Amino acid sequence: MFRPVSQSTQKEDLVTCRLGEVHRPAAPCTIVIFGASGDLTARKLVPALYHLHKEQQMPPDFRIIGFARREKTDASWRQELREALDQFSRTKPVDDVVWRDFSQHLLYCQGDLTDSAAYQKLQKQISDFPDPGLQQNLLFYLAISPSQFADVVARLAEARLLHRETQAGWERIVIEKPFGHDLESARRLNQELTRFANEQQVFRIDHYLGKETVQNILMFRFSNAIFERLWTRDSIDHVQITVSEKVGVGQRGGYYEEAGALRDMVQNHMLQVLSLVAMEPPVSLDAECIRNEKVKLMQSIRRLNPEDVSHQVVRGQYFAGMSEGQPQPGYRQETKVKSDSNVETYVALKLFIDNWRWSGVPFYLRTGKCLPMSASEVRIQFRPTPHVLFAAECGQRLDQNALALRLQPDEGISLRFNGKVPGTSVEVRPVRMHFSYNAEFGAYTPEAYERLLLEAMVGDATLFIRRDEVEIAWQIVDSIRHAWEGKALSNREFYAAGTWGPVAADDLLGQAGHTWREPMRVNSYSASAK
């Protein structure tokens, strides 16, 4: 995931992913998208595949088959996708020449997900392709409801499109979160999937891991000795991970009533980021080496009993307020939300990692809807210096050093330290050195789905979630959910839309003398700012 994709290497086998080595290019393959009429296909998947084709990173020959129950022709489906691409492409206008070439690879297969005959029709369509690679290398993308995953996989196996052991080529399944709704359902789903496919064939996608700066957490940590040597309990006071969203739940009220912020964000995105920030160095950049270290880290997170939850976890729910000068309804007034709902739209928690590196260092995680800004950031707060030299002159202005990794938007890294204000007095003020990806590298970074689809085609599972990762994350989250059962929200757990969350979240950090730090407010950094 950290290597450029080479189109010229002639290696036939996927190489071990070590620094300086590269992938072989993706082999000719067929991509089947189940849920071809859905929003994900139009907004993310096809635009991502179009941009990969534009950047000449798709295989030399490929087919993309859309599978859905609505009656369409190849031409009508292509027209729908072109209209969606005009709206959702990250580069505008769409290149007509590139689109004409790309669209010739788009085909449609009409069928119901529960109809075995439709899978036979799909199998016939694939077997008629002239290139053996298009017949044997198959990527099935399940952009459908999770409740349908197991049935679709079973029917693919019945139609002999999916085999646990393939004699020629490869067959892979890509599934979207949520991977179950609790530990029991996640285990059941994993068991059902692996009846017909082995674990190496299942690619569980979390688009958050496809973001450039999320991936670069490891590169930043392990390629810079000046920071890696500080990445321990000896230098770090605490860590804050913030994923804030400015918008409310909007039309997703029905989904949010079932999920809540804990399931929607903490169980996947936030624990994944935490594992990358805190994991031990892998022996190589091989997918399994990295995923092994992530699993070890997650196993080291101290489990929470009901008493721990009451002191270390805060939930919240927004009520009506103002967001950027505009009125915002409360969660209970949103569409498809119960008028007395106790579902959390905000979660803050304090976790401890019981290993040698992080013993005693609190990790604070928070995420919520209707907060003042949309941003994702990791903040490493270093231990304070002894105040014996500057305490009298500077007092509270002598701030702790901090390193902020801005994941989105305006991706970058910021180092905060104390500097002397020019003049005759001994006045110290916190200052910041900022690195901006856009200013330094200029080029627009690829969308997460572009990278993830390419990795799935070449068979690199580094950015995908393994079965044991999913189940460990659910163990952590389920202990919190069970402690909340039957308990109503308190007054200190409500917060006005457009604010940074409930008072109880401030109390959570105040127990240890800490305070939440707002994410960096970065608009843009031009090349001249370097």
Which H or E run includes 429?
Answer: strand 428-436
State the residue for tokens 């349908």. 148
Q: In the structure encoding, which two tokens stand for residue 65, read together?
A: 């088959």
Q: How far apart are CA 359 and CA 234, in angstroms?
A: 10
- Region label for 35, one of left (φ > 0), alpha (ψ between -120 and 50) or beta (otherwise): left
Sign of the Cα pseudo-torsion (225, 295, 177, 323, in order): negative
CA distance 338 to 320: 15
Residue with tokens 């990790």: 363
Helix intervals (H) in 89-211? 96-103, 116-127, 132-136, 149-158, 183-193
Instruction: Say which amino acid occupies 325.
Output: G
Q: Is 72 exposed, middle or buried (0-12, 13-18, 19+ CB in 10 A)?
A: middle
Distance of CA 510 to the CA centre of its chain: 29
The C-alpha atoms of residue 506 and residue 526 are separated, in whole angstroms, by 35
Given the residues 207, 269, 434, 514, select the one marked as catalytic.
269
| Distance linking the first and last C-alpha atoms of the chain | 27
269 is catalytic: yes
Q: How many of the other CB atoms lie within 10 Å of CB of 30?
A: 27
Active site residues: 269
